[in-house]
Every structure is written in structure tokens, then in C-alpha cells.
């Protein structure tokens, strides 16, 4: 089934796990800007070399370059009937660009899945994981900072998608399978995909 989706959620909400399950259910690729950056750098593409130089200098990859990389990826054969975007768009400029890109092909996003999770619960979860895995750089302060950056960056995007009526807000706390079922139920309510027993 065709589906053009976007998943958003705070760091630690289990977005990667759910993205894999959604992509498998719909038979569409998960398109992550982080993965695209890494693949282009590894393959030493022209765009990849530009990204490497920017990242090595400690700078953010500009919207224009991110947009170009995403455009290239969306034009690959496996994404022609649908995709699940993860980590893009991150800015209002990227939202505008994606809208224009999809419209030029006669498409639009079918749904934006937002995993909603209590910040205190996520901080507890990530601190526990950090302690179990010996990740000393994952201090409570660092975790809280990432949560704040996420909220600041994504709030305008979430508001825009809510206005369009494509935002599906799903409780991101609980057992992994329960969250997956909530997502599939929300997508089904929107007319996307049939739930399995």
C-alpha cells in the first residue's frame, strides 16, 4: 500500500524501533537524514564530500544541502510508492521544500506520526539506559538539554502539521508492542493500511 509518512518524537521515545515496524508493515523504506549523510560520506559522493567537510568543521549541514540529499533519496526506485521520513524535515524551510517537492510529483504527506511521551519518564528511561550501558556522557543535564532542543525545533513543525489535519498523536509510553498497535490503529483510522489480528 502507498503511504508517505513522517515520524517525530523526542530522543528516547523509541522512534527508531517504531519506524522499522511501520516501514515493514507498509513495505516502504525508512528514510533517515542521519543514514543518508553517513551513506553519502561512506560512498564519497559529491554531496557526501560536502557534508563531510561541514560535519568535520563542527557545523550544521545547511537546509539546501540536506534538501538536495533527501531529494536524491526520494527519487530512488524503492521510494516511488511511499516512504517513512525520520529526522526530516527539521526546520520550517525544510517543511516548505518538502511540500513543494511532493506537490511537484502530485503527492503530499499522508500522515505525521508524533510519539508523545512525558519528559520526566523519558529522562528516567534514558538515565537508566545510560547507567546500564556505562554511557557517562549521558548525564541528566545532557538528556534534558536534548529534550529542550527537540521541543524548540519541532514545535513549529508540529503546529503546522496539526493545522493541516495530518498529525496523529500517539502515546509513546508503555510496551513496544502496545505502542506499535496504537500507531497502526491511528493510521487505520486515517484510512492507511489494514490492521492484522
Catalytic residue among 42, 128, 135, 162: 135
Q: Walk along the chain (197 residues) and give the pLDDT tens digit of each residue.
A: 689 999 999 888 889 899 999 999 999 999 998 888 888 899 999 988 998 888 888 777 889 999 998 999 999 999 998 999 998 998 889 999 999 999 999 999 999 999 999 889 989 988 888 889 887 777 888 888 888 888 888 889 999 999 999 999 999 999 999 999 999 999 999 999 754 43
Q: How far apart are CA 11 and CA 122, in angstroms?
A: 8
Asked if the structure places residue 113 within a domain, the reply is: yes
- Domain holding 53, by residue range, is 3-189
* 127 in catalytic set: no
DSSP, residue by residue, 46-115: HHHHHHHHHHHTTPPPPHHHHHHHHHHHHTSGGGTTEEEEES---SHHHHHHHHHHHHHTT---SEEEEE
Asked if the structure places residue 197 within a domain, the reply is: no
* 135 in catalytic set: yes
Residue ranges with strand state E in 120-192: 167-171
In the chain, the number of structural domains is 1
Catalytic residue among 38, 90, 96, 190: 90
Torsion sign over Cα 103, 107, 111, 114: negative
* 114 in catalytic set: no
Asked if the structure places residue 142 within a domain, the reply is: yes
Residue 113, number of CB atoms within 10 A of its CB: 25
Q: Structure pTM?
A: 0.86
Amino acid at each position: 500500500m502507498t503511504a508517505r509518512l513522517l515520524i517525530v518524537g523526542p530522543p528516547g521515545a523509541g522512534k527508531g524501533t517504531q519506524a522499522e515496524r511501520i516501514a515493514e508493515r507498509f513495505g516502504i523504506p525508512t528514510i533517515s537524514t542521519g543514514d543518508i549523510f553517513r551513506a553519502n560520506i561512506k560512498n564519497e559522493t559529491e554531496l557526501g564530500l560536502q557534508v563531510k567537510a561541514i560535519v568535520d568543521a563542527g557545523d550544521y549541514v545547511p537546509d539546501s544541502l540536506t534538501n538536495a540529499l533527501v531529494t536524491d533519496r526520494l527519487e530512488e526506485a524503492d521510494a516511488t510508492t511511499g516512504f517513512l521520513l525520520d529526522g526530516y524535515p527539521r526546520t520550517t524551510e525544510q517543511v516548505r521544500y518538502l511540500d513543494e517537492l511532493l506537490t511537484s510529483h502530485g503527492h503530499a504527506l499522508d500522515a505525521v506520526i508524533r510519539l508523545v511521551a512525558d519528559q520526566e519518564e523519558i529522562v528516567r528511561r534514558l538515565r537508566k539506559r545510560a547507567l546500564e550501558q556505562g554511557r557517562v556522557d549521558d548525564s541528566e543535564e545532557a538528556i534534558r538539554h536534548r529534550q529542550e532542543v527537540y521541543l524548540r525545533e519541532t514545535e513549529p513543525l508540529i503546529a503546522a502539521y496539526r493545522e493541516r489535519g495530518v498529525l496523529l498523536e500517539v502515546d509513546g509510553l508503555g510496551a513496544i508492542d502496545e505502542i506499535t498497535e496504537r500507531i497502526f490503529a491511528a493510521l487505520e483510522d486515517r484510512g492507511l493500511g489494514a490492521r492484522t489480528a
